[in-house]
Structures are given as structure tokens and as C-alpha cells.
Structure 1
Amino acid sequence: MKRVAVTGLGVISPLGNNVPEFWENIISGKSGADYITKFDTSKFKTTFACEVKDFNAEDYFEKKEIRKYDLFTQYAVAASDQAIMDAGLNFESMDQQERSKIGVIWASGNGGITTFEEQLKEFHAGDGTPRFNPFFIPKMIVDIAAGVISIRNGLHGPNYATVSACASSNTAIINAFDTIRLGKANIMIAGGSEAAITSSSIGGFNSSHALSKRNEEPQKASRPFDRDRDGFVAGEGAGALILEDWDFAVKRGAKIYAEIVGGGMAADAYHLTGTPSDGFGAALGMKNALEDAGLLFSDIDYINAHATATPQGDLSELTAIKTVFGDSLVPISATKSMTGHLLGAAGAIESIISVLAVKNDIIPATINTVNLDEQIPADSNIILGESIHQKVNYVLNNTFGFGGHTASTIFKKATNQ
């Protein structure tokens, strides 16, 4: 099968709206958390989140266009525009046949939840007459971001959305990887976006006891693996990767950040929202990714853990890692401690972190974690406090979602071998 390169990156995030700023804040160990500004949280159990800051849609759209798109689609277009430019791609110079070999697989867990919420509020505040925005449906549906990216760039290759809750964008990346290596496309835009910091989303996650309620110190609230963790911090944004047939990329002189070499998916088949204590589905997904890449567990130099800071979830993942990696001291970190949990976009921005870790030989830290949970195996090599400089040839990136979905990707340092 064909080799697949990563040739472009784009990001809209709580830690910056471009890749250099985002990466600098990640390796510096900054938190993107603060008090929610999008709605009145005075009656909510959680009053903070990792919101995107200073995003200006007019940087990417004409003003009259903006009303057509929910914020999750605006984030998707912004991140994909960045990635396309970063990859040095000029679609206007390509003919229709060339663009028929370029596609988009884009993920979101919630789609246009802001639009859905606003429209229902307007309807129920009125007299019952169904006066809905003509863009209501296309603004809301999950697949629309993939469609808009395709339409905007005139791309005729495979085009669809993946939805597997918080594993959604890792699933999209795996699907795009498979599409290219099977020869069905030369280039794929893959990633995910989420704009779910809304009253219904925060309220819903509160009711399921998933969110941290550390309202007195938001920037210290996301503390994966910590004895005193009390849930995740909601985040929003988008991450985009340009995946490309290796030979095609080399021929056009593209810069190559890394190579994607493996993807594994599986299911817990256990619970609507919980994870099994033995981490079976997570372990199976990691094993599948290693087998797909033709690697041994000892080849992996860094694991970007899903680690959302939920009490059971963190322990379940570490148990799964122990099952796959045995007594290996592979470094592990949880970058959600900085970004918050971007839900359906988590896999995409954490793939960007993984790619940059491979490229720069830097392993980001887990911030905020002070006292490791006593149940965590003593030989777990969790990187705390500050990022470390260390040779990184292979990174494994984990994402897991409600419904028991698991997806793991593996990125390799770019070489000619």
C-alpha cells in the first residue's frame, strides 16, 4: 500500500488560532481555561471552559456568508484554509480530474448544536408558528463542514463526516489514511471541529457528572491522573491535517511534517458513557494500530493519552496501556490538561500535537497534576510539569468516545526509508 505523508496543519484552539502560537503554548504548558463568556452560567454547576479566543470569522468569510454557517463549520473552514496554505496547495491551478483525487473527511461529535439550541429557543419563545431560518438544517447537520470545505475548494474526491463521539476526528484521520494508501485519493483534508460550549451541552455533561466543578481555579481544573481530579474541562475549536500520497508529495516538492503509518479502531461494548476497568477496547485499538503499522510496542516513543481527567477513564486507559506495553517506560502525557477536551475535534488537535512532537523531538507535559492517583502503577512514565526534549520517532495518539468507540493513530518521523 502507498505511504502517507502529513504535509499541512491548521488549528483554531483555546491556545491559539494558528499552529505556531498553539504549539508554543503547548510546549510552554499554558492552560486555555477561563470563565465561560458565551452564556450566563450563574445557575450552572460548572462555570468555565476552554473557549476559542479572538476568532474573527471575517478573516475567512465574506460578511454575508457567515450567517450560513454554524460556528463549528466556521472553525472547520478556518483550520482547513490554514492547512491548505501550509501545504502549499493551489487548487485553482488544478483541473477537474486532479481535484477528483482530492477529498475531505471531517468529524464532529455535536455538529451545529449552537444553531439547534438557538432555533428551538426562538420557536418556543414565539406563538408556535414554525418560523425557522432557511439555513437551519444545513447549519446543524454534522456532515456540512466536510461539504463546505469541498465546495469552497472545488474538491470532487471522497467527502463525508465521521461521528464516533470523542473519537470522531481520529476516526476521520484513519479513514483518510486508508483512502490514500488504497490509491483512492492523492490528497485528503482530514480533521474535526466542535463548538459545543452551550447551555445545553454544559448542562448535559453536568447532569452526567462528567465535568470538573473546580470553579474557583479554572486554569488548574483539568488534572488528568491526579488524585483529586473531578472531570474534564470542555473545549472547542478545530484541527486540520493534509494527508498526502508520499510519492505525490515528494514529486511536487512539499514539505513533510511526518508520516502516518497506522490506525486502529475497536469498541468497548460495555456502557453508554463509562469505560471498563480492564480497558479492553482501548487496548484492542492500540494493538490494532501497532499491527497496522507493523510495529512492536517497544517502537513507540511517546503516547498522547486520551486522559480526560475523569476518575474511571484515566485508570482504564492506563490499564490498557499496561496491557499493550507491559513494563515499558514509554512516556505518556495528557495535553487535554492544557486544551481542555475538544470532544469530536480532540483527535485532530492531538494529532497535530503528535506530529509536532515527532518533528521537533519534544514531548509536551501534563500540567496541573500534583498528586498522582494512588491506583496508578508506580512505573507509569507520566510526564508532569514541563515538556521534555527527547528523540521521538513514533507517537501513538489515543481517543475514546461515549458509546465505547476507540481510535488510535501512529505517526512516524519523516524519513526516506
Structure 2
Amino acid sequence: MQTKIALTSLASISPLGNNPEEIWNNYLSGKSLIKLKDYYGEPQFVAQIPSNLRVEIEYLRNSDSKYKALDETVLMAILVSREAIKKAGWNSGDDFGINIGSSRGATQLFEKHHKEFIETGKAGTLASPTTTLGNISSWVAHDLKNDGPEISHSITCSTALHAVLNAVAWLQSGMANKFLVGGSEAPLTAFTIAQMHALKIYQKPSNVENFQYPCRAFDFSKTKNSMVLGEGATVACLEVGKKENALAYIEGIGYATDDIEHNISISDEANCFQKSMKMALKNSNLEDVDAIVMHMPGTLKGDTSEYKAIQKVFGDNLPMLTTNKWQVGHTFGASGMLNLEMAILMMQHNQFIEVPFAEKQNINRKINKVLINAVGFGGNAVSVLLSKDF
């Protein structure tokens, strides 16, 4: 890192809500927001956004004829982007970059248009333009009347943190002074959930003994995979240098890709995470890291491999460890930025949020620096080190 990057605002929509007080209170509650819902005639564990936020999404959809055909991933991204630039003091029409990605993209529209094609043999006029990968950033730029660069990418579950990496490169190169980054995901569809079941990683109701916590992320006593999907969007405003309104500063970034033997596997000791964490921490003392918000999705291999990687990097002096997947589910491409939001809230309140059923840790330190992890299919890990001060 040539210079620190200030994170001057953050906005989100998730099962936790959409305002900082509500989100923090939900974290403090220790309650899972995962519920058993009927999906196309079959009960599935999912983490949905609150009904009042669904109303806001539909209001936006109906506010402009151009928005009626947009996927929920785009609509959520527009709502949180409006809020983020407002909090940061940016204005519509300012020259800032946008990089908001998604792992799955327009899943709802893809399934809708494909169903229509199977039934009629014809594709809808807007089937292509409303499901392209760049759809999110381009529509956010349209809504904010932005003149800066627009970028979209999909790097599976580490998409949002890869957006941070990309923005940091732009900002440090001098090619931009401000960047809006994040991820949006609306994966609660029959086909997407079926894909996770096909991988044998999704939590089945028949496997659950404790319905209070269906997703057992950070529970090493589990004997079966327990991942659950959630939906949401989170974006942040990044700026170069010291800022009076900074929520936190990006002090280090790291990235790596595993040498894998299978399309969805990760090495036993998550070599990619070892490399990404070491890169993010190369200018910091390990003992200064107070906490890690782990990716930890609730799968047997994913959870244990990341934990082993942390042990390899930090040895016997582990920071405080947590994850939010047990509470909000796995939001795929948006999950890394939700991890980042959790880190910022813990730093602001100087309070650590434990996983209620995990092994108890020694919670005895102030929270000034937090490491955030994300990884996805293909072993593409990202680590970001946040600090309170410049």
C-alpha cells in the first residue's frame, strides 16, 4: 500500500436491515435470521431481507418505467449506492468510479426469461440487456448520473472484496480520487438453491437438530455441511488520504489463488488464504490484529481449511475470530462487503460479536484493527486489513 485509503461511508441491505443501529442490534441479539421458507413447494432454509425493504425495492421498480424490467440485484445496488454517496457527501454527477459486482448476477431474470423461452420458443426483447454482467454498475451509474469509470466483474464469493482491490489500484494510480465499490446478490431462487444442493453443501431441514441455528459456521463439531443462502447488497465509498468522515482506513490488501484439484475445492490448509493474509499484513505486526471476520460459510471443508490457514499465519496468538454466515446466510458476491461492514461496526462500538455456539474465546482487547477474509469457487482469496486510525 503506497498510501492509506479512507472508507468514508457504507450502506447495505441485508437480513440484518439497512440502518447501522438496526444492524448492530441484530448482531447483538445473537439470533439467527435464517428461516425455513417454502420455495416452490419444498421447505428451504434461507435468510431474506425484511419485508419493509422489499417494499422499498418495489417502490423503486415502479418509480421509473426504465426500472420495471431490472433484476433485484440491480435495484438493491441502486438503493444502497444512493444512500452511500449521500452519507459520504458525494453528489450525483460527480466524477467517481463504480465497481459493483455479483457472483450469480440476474438469477431471477435469467430463470424467468429461460422459462418463457422454453414455453414459447422466443426470448424477450430485454432478456439480454437486463442480464449482462455489467448491468449492475451501468445502471447505478445511470441512476447517479456518474461520469467516472464503470466496472463489473464476477469472482464468485470474493467478488465484493475484489472490487475493493481493483478500486485501490485505481486510487493509488492517480487515475481516480473516489470509488464506489461493493456487491449485490439475490440468489434465493429454485435453480440456485438446487445447484447448492447438487454440490451437497446446503443445509437440509432433515439434518437440523437445533433449528435456532441452522447454519453451523465456525462449529467444528458438525458432521455435515450446513451452508444457507442469504440475499443482500453492500457498497462503500473509498477516497485517497486522511478524511475527517472516515469510518476506517484500508491499511493492507492481499489476494491469492489456490492450486486446486477440483472445481469447487480449496486446499486443506487454504494456501490461498495464507498468502492473501500475509500480503495484507506485510507492513503490520501480527499482534496488532485484534480480530478477523472470517469467510467461513458453514461447510466442512471451507470452515476447517480457513481456520487452519489462520493458525498457520498467526501461530498460537490468534486474534478474536468471528463470522456472520450463521446469522445472515451466504450472500455470495456481496458477502465480503457484509464482512467489512461487520468489522467497521465492531471497531466503532469497540465490541466483539461472537458466534454463539462456537468455542469460547478470550475477549479482552480493544478493536482497532480487523482483518476481513473472502474466498470463492476456484480458491480466489482476498484479505483486507482495516484500521481505525490513519
How does the TM-score come out when normalised to structure 1? 0.86
Please state how far the C-alpha of 1:208 moved relative to its aligned partner. 0.5
The equivalent of 1:23 in structure 2 is 24
The equivalent of 1:47 in structure 2 is 44
Matches within 5 A, 1:9-408: 9-36=10-37, 39-42=39-42, 47-54=44-51, 55-56=54-55, 57-61=57-61, 62-92=63-93, 99-100=94-95, 102-126=96-120, 128=121, 130=122, 132-214=123-205, 218-226=211-219, 227-228=221-222, 230-247=225-242, 249-250=243-244, 255-270=245-260, 271-291=262-282, 294-369=283-358, 382=361, 390-408=365-383
Number of residues of Structure 1 aligned to a counterpart in Structure 2: 380
Please state how far the C-alpha of 1:134 moved relative to its aligned partner. 2.3
Q: 1:411 aligns with which of 377, 380, 386?
A: 386
Whole-Å separation in 1 of the counterparts to 2:24 and 2:145? 30
Q: How far does the alpha carbon of each residue in 1:375-399 deviate from its partner, in whole angstroms, 9 at most, with x for none? A: xxxxxx758xxxx684111100011
Please state how far the C-alpha of 1:407 moved relative to its aligned partner. 0.6
Whole-Å separation in 1 of the counterparts to 2:90 and 2:160? 22
Whole-Å separation in 2 of the counterparts to 1:205 and 1:343? 12
Give 5+ residue unaligned stretches, structure 1.
Answer: 93-98, 373-380
Whole-Å separation in 2 of the counterparts to 1:109 and 1:361? 32
Please state how far the C-alpha of 1:64 moved relative to its aligned partner. 2.5
- Which range is displaced more, 17-26 or 341-350? 17-26
Q: 1:243 to 1:218 in 2, by over 3 A?
A: farther
Please tell me the residue identity of whatever aligns with 2:81. Answer: S
Please state how far the C-alpha of 1:28 moved relative to its aligned partner. 2.3
Note if contact 1:113-1:195 (Cα within 8 Å) is conserved in structure 2.
yes
Q: How far does the alpha carbon of each residue in 1:89-148 deviate from its partner, in whole angstroms, 9 at most, with x for none? A: 2235xxxxxx33x1101110000011011111112123x2x1x33222222122211111
Please state how far the C-alpha of 1:48 moved relative to its aligned partner. 1.6
Note if contact 2:155-2:376 (Cα within 8 Å) is conserved in structure 1.
yes
Whole-Å separation in 1 of the counterparts to 2:301 and 2:190? 25
Q: How far does the alpha carbon of each residue in 1:283-322 deviate from its partner, in whole angstroms, 9 at most, with x for none? A: 111111112xx11222210000111111111110111001
Note if contact 2:218-2:355 (Cα within 8 Å) is conserved in structure 1.
no
Please state how far the C-alpha of 1:8 moved relative to its aligned partner. 0.9
Please state how far the C-alpha of 1:63 moved relative to its aligned partner. 4.8
Note if contact 1:224-1:310 (Cα within 8 Å) is conserved in structure 2.
yes
Whole-Å separation in 1 of the counterparts to 2:347 and 2:41? 40
Whole-Å separation in 1 of the counterparts to 2:229 and 2:271? 26
Q: 1:63 to 1:154 in 2, by over 3 A?
A: closer
SS in 1 for 2:168: helix
Q: 1:3 to 1:199 in 2, by over 3 A?
A: same
Please tell me the residue identity of whatever aligns with 1:268. Answer: D
Please state how far the C-alpha of 1:154 moved relative to its aligned partner. 2.1
Please state how far the C-alpha of 1:233 moved relative to its aligned partner. 0.8
Whole-Å separation in 2 of the counterparts to 1:21 and 1:113? 28
Please tell me the residue identity of whatever aligns with 1:246. Answer: G
SS in 2 for 1:211: coil
- Which range is displaced more, 277-286 or 212-221? 212-221
Please tell me the residue identity of whatever aligns with 1:409. Answer: V
Whole-Å separation in 2 of the counterparts to 1:147 and 1:308? 30
Note if contact 1:189-1:241 (Cα within 8 Å) is conserved in structure 2.
yes
Note if contact 2:60-2:67 (Cα within 8 Å) is conserved in structure 1.
no
The equivalent of 1:378 in structure 2 is none
SS in 1 for 2:216: coil
Whole-Å separation in 2 of the counterparts to 1:20 and 1:140? 34
Whole-Å separation in 2 of the counterparts to 1:219 and 1:267? 35
SS in 1 for 2:249: strand
Whole-Å separation in 2 of the counterparts to 1:18 and 1:64? 28
Note if contact 1:32-1:339 (Cα within 8 Å) is conserved in structure 2.
yes
Q: 1:36 to 1:143 in 2, by over 3 A?
A: farther
Please state how far the C-alpha of 1:84 moved relative to its aligned partner. 1.3
Please tell me the residue identity of whatever aligns with 1:140. Answer: T
Note if contact 2:6-2:241 (Cα within 8 Å) is conserved in structure 1.
yes
How does the TM-score come out when normalised to structure 2? 0.92
Q: 1:41 to 1:394 in 2, by over 3 A?
A: farther
Q: 1:281 to 1:361 in 2, by over 3 A?
A: same
Whole-Å separation in 1 of the counterparts to 2:60 and 2:7? 23
Note if contact 1:9-1:19 (Cα within 8 Å) is conserved in structure 2.
no
- Which range is displaced more, 352-361 or 341-350? 352-361
The equivalent of 1:4 in structure 2 is 5
Note if contact 2:102-2:156 (Cα within 8 Å) is conserved in structure 1.
yes
Whole-Å separation in 2 of the counterparts to 1:52 and 1:410? 28
Give 5+ residue unaligned stretches, structure 2.
Answer: none
Note if contact 1:213-1:230 (Cα within 8 Å) is conserved in structure 2.
no
Q: 1:155 to 1:139 in 2, by over 3 A?
A: same
